[in-house]
Amino acid sequence: MKPFGYLPHTETERKEMLAFLGLQQTEELFDQIPAEIRLKEPIQIPQAWSELELTRQFGRMAARNKNTEEYVSFLGAGAYEHAIPAVVEAIVGRSEFYTAYTPYQPEISQGILQAIFEYQTMICELTGMEVSNASLYDGPTAMAEAGMMACAATKRTKLLVSRAVHPEYREVLKTYAYGQRLEIVEIGMGDGLTDLDELGDRMGDDIAGCIVQYPNFFGCVEPLEELAALTRHCGALFIAVVNPIAMGILEPPGSFGADIVVAEGQPLGNSLSFGGPYLGILATTRALVRRMPGRIIGQTTDLDGRRAFVLTLQAREQHIRREKATSNVCSNQALNALAATVYLSYMGKQGLCEVARQCMLKTQYAIERLTSIKGVERLFSTAVFHECAFKLPASPAAVNKKLLEHGIIGGYELAKDYPRYENSVLLAFTEARTKEEIDTLAERLEAVL
Amino acid sequence: MRQEKDQPLIFEWSRPGRSAYSLPKLDVPELSVEDILPLPYIRAKRAELPEVSELDVVRHYTALSRRNHGVDNGFIPLGSCTMKYNPKRNEKVSKLSGFASIHPYQPEETVQGALELMYHLQKELEAITGMDQVSLQPASGAQGEWAGLLMIRAYHESRGEKRTKVLIPDVSHGTNPASAAVAGFESVTIASNEYGEVDLESLRQAVGPDTAALMLTNPSTLGLFDRNILEIARIVHEAGGLLYYDGANSNAILGYARPGDMGFDVVHLNLHKTFTTPHGGGGPGAGPVGVKKELIPFLPVPIVERDQDRYRLNADKPQSIGKVKGFYGNFGILVRAYAYMRTMGPDGLKLVTEDAVLNANYMMRKLQPHIELPYDRTCMHEFVLSARQLRKKGVRTLDIAKRLLDFGYHPPTIYFPLNIEEAMMIEPTETESKETLDQFIQTLIRICEEIESSPETVQEAPHTTVVNRLDEAKAARNPILRYRREEENGREGSVLR
């Protein structure tokens, strides 16, 4: 058998160790597995590859994908291409971080504990909330956890969710609701915004919480003030799903009395990576801190009085509370949260605002440029952040196919989730898109329409 | 020796006006934000993010990394966590632009390589577990458990049966009962027998028409293979229930046994344990789920399917429990796990298990004369010791764990499983050399001697880490969960700062 470099034992050592155990054969260690279920044949998978073969084969598979470094992408819809500073990769690539276990031994884990404490502080600052956890799986699962939190806090079982919330987020919420036997009621929309009248009609003292997105799936800026007032009036919790980059320019939900703010943290220094791993942001008020799911880092002192950091309020969690835990979540996305922390440190107070401003201004330019094409118009007239829905005079699938031939990855086809918005696409414009690229998109669109 | 200076927070390096970021000059017309957004929604006060230079950022987080301990720094014999080496080549291939820089909503024809990889990963996991179909969606082991239980609920409901209880052995991981609760089940604890196996009598008494499933880890968290597994499966199946396999301990059985052959109907695997993806200081992981034929319709979507030479994501499964997370699972983790499987192949994976089990038994027998071994039988990939005898000397398992830190080791899992007093659960994994095992064994023996000669050395440990033991009670009693600048602190007297 050829040697496997991850396995250090020599044959002599294996024999020595077996001899110490009083055994002749390795197989004897497995005598406890009943003969009826002992595998008689090797696992039916292909033979091993050397490092060189692995690199070539993976290189071949990777090359079959058109990537955003070679193509100009206008896709957003929940995952965004932003410039990722080299600093982020350099820090996240330090193996003291990425090969570490969960920081249950704080004396040798102060590095990640402190970094996540800093993360929690930055998330509070971004969202305008009082406390943040150490992160969850991603935006959609964070939203579902927020919904369950609202139900537990209000002892009610019905949640309202705007149809202007990302379709996948609502799907994930439904899956969690099935588990918890919660009722989900969707609220319709008009001109790209949650229908306030319908929300008012549906709201009542049986509602645990109301979930809206800000900016919403269509990029539109929801009137949080009115939405929050309607919700809180009935004792329901107000839950806002945000884009963390938008918090550089938009007034945070905390200012409008949000009870829980969740977000997809990917735009903060995490690569697109075909949808994961990302990180779920969840922040809330002091009143709800003991209902928060997931890990939380707190500041304390060691026995000599030095400042130090530790996992805290663990009485909420599954490893202590088992079936009575606030959630079954065990891991956080520590490494992705670390990337977000380094990103936010690097961008800083000024840089985040500048990124947000550039995103918004590029979107304004794109709107101007694209709507000057005959037949192209905005689907909604509401103010947007860095995404905008457009109606085209042709099928988006056919248009996108043509764009692809010119090295452009087109927008998200809205009819997939909203049949009534046929021939419509959602296009995103981040700071990573240049004026020239937007102009090229417009020219190509003009040519194919 | 302890470093005397603590590491300031990044906010404490902050100086007004300093910055690190680099952005291109704006190349589109400047507009006033007030002309775009309605006034109440324009941010009035900037978020208080740090104002630091690039070198500040790099020095700060490099300093923090030095206050952390990973597998690359030293041995982490954490039971049930499988802290094995995280191969560098896996990291390298996961960062290829064709994997790291693809958007989840790109047209299918532009991501054929990613789908090809996912498809083959599904197939190989099916072969390894003996299940009929795998979904790569769940983001973690706990999410895999929950998704698996939802499938079980949907399966029973599709047959018009209302089964409300999930049976869980007392030695199980805490996520098992928590996942059962989130999936809408009531959990019932099943006792273990004197051999650390499921007590068949308790099981027989517990099963009934309300039994939805039994959740089992085999080998259990005691590191012991349940030899009655076929009888257990028979009892649960005859009562109309299903068997759920928690794959946390899969490192013990690769190439030797498959949950599918043991009678399990649903399985999840922790790719961050058995399949070497890094733990990342607490995540991200990945927890694919696999099922037997009858449960295929309920798998979380999408599933990657192959149609001749073309791969596609199929989300059109009317009986599916639906989506459990955004997009398609933790793809970057899946790439690493598949790279590992391709590096090892069938022979390598079998050898992994052989060495993992050999290492555990070797350590167990070397340590047995010094620390009590509650279950004296051949173990699988891990074993549990009990330090309760040492309590007479005033030393607890926690103290031993802290003393190990002084020797550069991450301690074993402690106080788990819950049925063993002063438990210490050791899982060496296959990637550690005999020298490492011997050195660790010698260190534990030395600590046992210290307990005799100078127990305070152990009780007061650690002595060399950057901080001493922490006041955890204070952290929970008076939670400080974020940083505030001094001037802000003055104004706020609240407990939750």
Predicted pLDDT at A315:
86
Average pLDDT, chain B: 95
The helix/strand/coil state of B68 is strand
Distances (CA, A) of B152 to A15, A399, B21, B440: 45, 43, 50, 43
Element (H, E) at B435: helix B434-453
- Packing angle, helices A435-448 and A396-405, rounded to 10: 120
The average pLDDT across B435-445 equals: 98
Q: What is the DSSP secondary-structure string of A190-223?
A: ETTEE-HHHHHHH-STTEEEEEEEES-TTSB---
Peptide bond into B284 cis (omega under 30): yes
The first and second tokens of residue B39, run together, are 């006034």
Residue A424 in this model has a pLDDT that exceeds 90: yes
Partnered with residue A297 across adjacent β-strands are A311
| Per-residue confidence (pLDDT) for residue A331, from 0 to 100 | 87
B205: number of Cβ within 10 Å: 10
Query: Any CB–CB contact under 8 A between A24 and chain B?
Result: no
The residue of chain B with its CA nearest to that of A277 is: B330
Tell me whether residues A78 and B31 touch, CB distance under 8 A.
Answer: no
Interface membership of B78 toward A (CB under 8 Å): yes
More confident residue, B164 or B3: B164
A interface test, pick of B21, B361, B375 with most A CB neighbours within 10 Å: B21
pLDDT for B4 equals 55
> CA torsion sign, B41 to B44 to B48 to B50?
positive
Q: Does B71 touch chain A (CB under 8 A)?
A: yes
Strand partners, B306: B311
pLDDT of residue A321: 82
- Catalogue all structural domains in chain B, each as residue range(s) with its CATH number: 10-65 (no CATH), 89-344 (3.40.640.10), 351-472 (3.90.1150.10)
What is the Cα–Cα distance from A339 to B201, expressed in whole angstroms? 51
Distance of CA A127 to the CA centre of its chain: 15
- How far apart CA B228 and CA B226 sit, in angstroms, is 5
Task: Convert the pLDDT of each residue in B472-497 to its tens digit.
Answer: 999 999 999 999 987 665 444 333 43
- Asked if residues A270 and B95 have their Cβ atoms less than 8 Å apart, the reply is no
The confidence score (pLDDT) of residue A320 equals 81
Q: How far is A235 from chain B (nearest CA, A)?
A: 23
Q: What is the pLDDT of residues A294-330, one digit of tens each?
A: 999 999 999 999 999 999 999 888 888 888 888 899 8
Residue A398: closest C-alpha in chain B: B107
Distance of CA A397 to CAs A68, A423, B297, Å?
A: 19, 9, 29
Residue A439 sits at the chain B interface (C-beta within 8 Å): no
Of A121, A274, A313, the CB nearest to B479: A313
Residues B394-402: contacts with CB within 8 Å, 24+ apart? B394/B455, B394/B459, B395/B451, B395/B455, B395/B458, B395/B459, B396/B422, B397/B422, B397/B423, B397/B424, B399/B458, B399/B459, B399/B461, B400/B424, B400/B444, B400/B447, B400/B451, B400/B458, B401/A105, B402/A107, B402/B458, B402/B461, B402/B462, B402/B469
Residues of chain B found within 8 Å of residue A69, distances taken between Cβ atoms: 97, 101
Residues A319 and A327: beta-carbon distance below 8 Å: no
Instruction: Tell me, letter by letter, the H, E, C secondary structure of B182-216.
Output: HCCCEEEEECECCCCCECHHHHHHHCCCCEEEEEE
Q: Do residue A6 and residue B142 have CB atoms under 8 angstroms apart?
A: no
Nearest chain A Cα to B32, which residue?
Answer: A361
Q: Would the CB atoms of A354 and B23 count as touching at under 8 Å?
A: yes
The residue in chain B having the minimum alpha-carbon distance to the alpha carbon of residue A94 is B65
Q: Which residue has the higher pLDDT, B491 or A227?
A: A227
Q: Are B414 and B423 in contact (CB under 8 A)?
A: yes
Chain A stretch 378-437, residues whose beta carbon is closer than 8 A to a beta carbon of chain B:
383, 400-401, 404, 409, 412, 431, 434-436
Across the interface, which of A81, A105, A351 has its CB nearest the CB of B405? A105
- Residues B334-381: tens digit of each pLDDT: 999 999 999 999 999 999 999 999 999 999 999 999 999 999 999 999
Q: d(Cα B94, Cα B116) in Å, to the nearest integer? A: 15
Q: CB–CB of A108 and B483 under 8 A? A: no
Write the single-letter amino acid at B296.
I
The pLDDT value recorded for residue A2 is 64
Q: How far apart are CA B84 and CA B360, in angstroms?
A: 13
Interchain pair B257, A171: CB under 8 A: no
Contact with chain A for residue B305, Cβ under 8 A: no
What was the pLDDT predicted at A17?
Answer: 98
Give the other-Cβ count within 10 Å of A40's Cβ. 5
Chain A positions touching B28 (Cβ under 8 A) are: 361-362, 364-365, 435, 438
- Is A52 within 8 Å of chain B by CB? no
Give the span between the Cα atoms of B192 and A283, in whole angstroms: 40
Helical (H) or strand (E) element with A405: helix A396-405
Domains in chain A with CATH codes: 72-83+349-448 (3.90.1150.10), 86-342 (3.40.640.10)
The answer to whether residue B307 neighbours chain A at the CB level (below 8 Å) is: no
Amino acid at B126: E
Are B426 and B79 spatial neighbours (Cβ–Cβ below 8 Å)?
yes
User: What's the mean per-residue pLDDT of chain A?
Assistant: 97
Give SS3 for A300: strand
Q: Does B430 touch chain A (CB under 8 A)?
A: yes
Is A125 in Cβ contact with B49 (below 8 Å)? Answer: yes
Buried b (16+ CB within 10 A) or exposed e, B168-188: bbebbbbbbbbbbbbbbbebb
Q: What is the CB neighbour count within 10 angstroms for residue A126?
A: 29
d(CA A23, CA B439): 23
Using the CB atoms, write b or e for B62-96: b if 16+ within 10 Å.
Answer: eebbbbbbbbbbebbbbbbbbbbbbbebbbebbbb
Between the alpha carbon of residue A64 and those of residues A332, B96, B108, B130, the distances in Å are 32, 12, 11, 30
- Residues of chain B in contact with residue A174, where contact means CB-CB under 8 angstroms, are 322
- Which CA distances in Å does A442 have to A399, A403, A408, B61, B460? 12, 10, 11, 42, 69
Q: Check B430 against A101: CB less than 8 A apart.
A: no
Residue A123 has pLDDT above 50, yes or no: yes
Query: Chain A within 8 Å of B24 (Cβ-Cβ)?
Result: yes
Residue A149 identity (one-letter amino acid): M
Place of tokens 């920081």: A103
> Are A277 and B332 an interchain contact pair (Cβ–Cβ within 8 Å)?
yes
Please report which confidence band the pLDDT of residue A274 belongs to, taking 50, 70 and 90 as the band edges. Answer: very high
pLDDT in the model for residue B3:
55
Q: End-to-end CA distance of chain A, in Å?
A: 61
Assigned token pair, B121: 């990963």
Q: Which of A105, A255, A435 sits opposite B28 (nearest CB)?
A: A435
Contact check, Cβ <8 Å, A303/B27: no
Using a CB–CB cutoff of 8 Å, tell me whether B177 touches chain A. Answer: yes
| A97 vs A281: CA distance, rounded Å | 20
Q: CA torsion sign, A361 to A364 to A368 to A369?
A: positive
Tell me the C-alpha distance between A300 and A309, whole Å: 6
CB atoms near residue B249 (< 10 Å): 27
* CA distances to A36, B256, B358 from A40, in Å: 10, 8, 20
User: How confident is the model over A70-93, as pLDDT tens digits?
Assistant: 999 999 999 999 999 999 999 999
Interface of B with A in 222-281 (CB under 8 A): 224-225, 227, 229-230, 253-258, 261-262, 276, 278-281
Q: How many CA atoms within 13 Å lie on the side-chain side of B280?
A: 27
Residue pointed to by tokens 């905008």: A388
The answer to whether B68 contacts A91, with C-beta atoms less than 8 Å apart, is no
B486 touches chain A (CB under 8 A): no
Residue A1: the pLDDT is: 56
CA proximity to A266, closest of A252, A247, A285, A279:
A279
Give Cα separations from A424 to A170, A411, B432 (angstroms).
20, 9, 56
Please state, as a whole number, how many other Cβ atoms lie within 10 Å of the Cβ of residue A290: 13
Quick one: average pLDDT of B50-67? 98
- The 10s digit of each residue's pLDDT in A377-400 is 999 999 999 999 999 999 999 999
Whole-complex ipTM? 0.98
Cα Rg, chain A, nearest whole Å:
25
Q: How do residues B92-131 score in pLDDT, each as one tens digit?
A: 999 999 999 999 999 999 999 999 999 999 999 999 999 9
Residue by residue, DSSP assigns A41-88 as S--SSPPP--HHHHHHHHHHHHHTB--TTTSEE---TT-------HHH
Among candidate residues B441, B343, B375, the one with its CA nearest the CA of residue B219: B375
Q: Does A371 touch chain B (CB under 8 A)?
A: no
The answer to whether residue B89 scores a pLDDT higher than 90 is: yes
Inspect the interface and report whether the beta carbons of A249 and B30 lie closer than 8 Å: no
Instruction: Assign B126 to helix, strand or coil.
Output: helix
Running DSSP on this structure, what letter comes out for residue B131?
Answer: -
Instruction: Please identify among residues 138-167 of chain A the ones whose CB lies closer than 8 Å to any CB of chain B.
Output: 138-141, 148
**Which residue is closest to A251 within chain B, CA to CA?**
B43
Taking the Cβ of residue B318 and every Cβ of chain A, the question of whether any pair is shorter than 8 Å is answered with: no
The residue whose two tokens read 């002192």 is A301
Contact A359, A429 (CB under 8 A): yes
Residue B140: C-alpha distances to residues A90, A116, A439, B210 (Å): 26, 20, 42, 28
Contacts of B321 in chain A (CB under 8 A): 175, 178
Q: pLDDT tens digits for B259-315? A: 999 999 999 999 999 999 999 999 999 999 999 999 999 999 999 999 999 999 999
Rounded CA separation B20/B52 (Å): 6
How far is C-alpha B479 from the chain's CA centre? 26
B322 closest CB neighbour out of A171, A321, A328: A171
Asked if A180's CB is within 8 angstroms of B184's CB, the reply is: yes
Determine the distance in angstroms separating the CA of B446 from the nearest CA of chain A, rounded to an integer: 21
Q: Does A285 reach chain B within 8 Å, measured CB to CB?
A: no
Residue numbers in A near B286 (CB within 8 A): 277
The structure tokens listed for B298 are 């309920």
Reference A78, options A428, A443, A448, A437; nearest CA is A428
Residue located via tokens 């059985």: B253
User: Residue B372 forms beta bridges with which residues?
Assistant: B386
